[in-house]
Amino acid sequence: MNTGMNSGMNTADTITLAEVLGNGALAIMAYAILGVLLLVAGFYVVDLATPGRLSKVIRTDRNPNATVVAASGVAGVGLIVAASIWSSGGALREGLLVTLVFGLVGIAAQTLCMFAFDKVTGFSVRELVREPALQPAAILLSVTRFVIGLITAVAVI
């Protein structure tokens, strides 16, 4: 006998707190893993475009130019990943796919930015990251890479 007190919902339609938390935790882990993989991929793309191992140039040589260029790329990819997650609307599979695709697009756009930076400004990124003192061109390139990440992130939303 239906008294109408459930408003059409039965117990099969209710989701427990444990299910919500479990699904949420799995989604967070999936996005975190994908986000870290994209950040690492973005870092290694910069590594390929610069002389020497980028991690050594940053850690051992303590090169500020290589550091700001790498950091700006990581920050830009992070913005893209966050925007992709935001725009997914809770649909995990679609959100992960969108995050992967747009993350890779953002990395590609930043890479093209570095090549265009070489051509347009006349500054060689490869030479720039060899300089031991922070150079204004490194700051300009870094801001450009970050803004490309921001533009891509807003386009996702």
What range does the domain containing 61 cover? 13-156
* 6 inside domain: no
The pLDDT tens digits of the residues spanning 130-143 come to: 899 999 999 998 99
* 41 inside domain: yes
Burial code of 72-111, b = ≥16 C-beta within 10 A, e = fewer? bbbbbbbbbbbbbbebbeeeeeebbebbeebbeebbebbb
* 152 inside domain: yes
Q: Which of 58-67, 111-120, 139-148 has the lowest mean pLDDT?
A: 111-120
Note the pTM of the prediction, 2 decimals: 0.77
Bigger pLDDT: 67 vs 48? 67
* 78 inside domain: yes
Tell me how many domains the chain contains. 1
* 114 inside domain: yes
